[in-house]
Amino acid sequence: MLTDLALILLAYLLGSLSFGLLMARIYGGADLRRSGSGNIGATNVARTLGKTAGILTLLGDGAKGLVAVLLAQAWGQAPILPAVAACVVVLGHMFPLYHGFRGGKGVATALGALLPTLPLPLFGGLLVWLVVVATWRYVSAGSILAALVVPLLAVLWSYPWPLVLAAVLIALLVLYKHRDNLYRLRQGSEAKFF
């Protein structure tokens, strides 16, 4: 039990690491919270600091989600502990201890966290994301729809209920963090990616 709690705490602390802010330091010190969308995630990093910094942020944020869940799986408490670790690492990214609980929107971290637990639903979500972004060029709309598709596919393909609940919770968190984007999408003022 104590080790389970330690793994959950570690997942939160991993999630709290901000690769966007790290890239901002490496690439010239831009204040991401005052640039572009004001978000510390990969999309705003790419807009503000360039594609390479954006890709590195995406990989770093995804990797911390992946590492947290792989550690939980290695502990052998599947599927409950990996499901909890997935939720907590995303929470850590969105509400990071190290940065005043002001973090990113959690999409890349969720991608890494769900990869070892819900690979097929995640692939379906990625396809939705690609179609939406390629067609309408709104990363936020693609992220929101992908987040909603993953738990639906997890239910459809009969994944264990802890993993389905984790996907539902992550989708709700992603929706919450994208509430300003949803408003701008309705108003027609949301920035396109390219």
Domain assignment present for residue 193? The answer is no
pLDDT tens-digit map of 110-144? 999 999 999 999 999 999 999 999 999 999 999 99
Which residue range is the domain that position 38 belongs to?
2-187
Question: Is 31 contained in some domain?
Answer: yes
Going from the C-alpha of 97 to that of each of 11, 15, 40, 51, the distances in angstroms are: 12, 9, 14, 27
pLDDT of 77: 66
Q: Is 115 contained in some domain?
A: yes
Structure tokens at 154: 């997890």
| Number of structural domains the chain divides into | 1
Q: Cα–Cα distance between 21 and 97 in angstroms, integer?
A: 14
Q: Does the residue 192 lie in any domain? A: no
Percentage of residues in the chain having pLDDT higher than 70: 98
pTM strictly above 0.85: yes
Q: Tell me whether residue 163 is in a domain.
A: yes
Q: What is the Cα–Cα distance from 70 to 86, expressed in whole angstroms?
A: 10
Rounded to 5 degrees, what are φ and ψ at 141?
-65, -40
Scanning the structure block, which residue is given the tokens 């972004």? 133
- Digit-coded pLDDT (tens) for 16-58: 999 999 998 898 877 787 877 778 889 889 888 989 999 999 9
- Give domain status of residue 70, yes or no: yes
Locus of tokens 């309705």: 186
Q: Going by C-beta distance under 8 Å and a sequence separation of 6 or more, which residues neighbour residue 148?
A: 171, 175
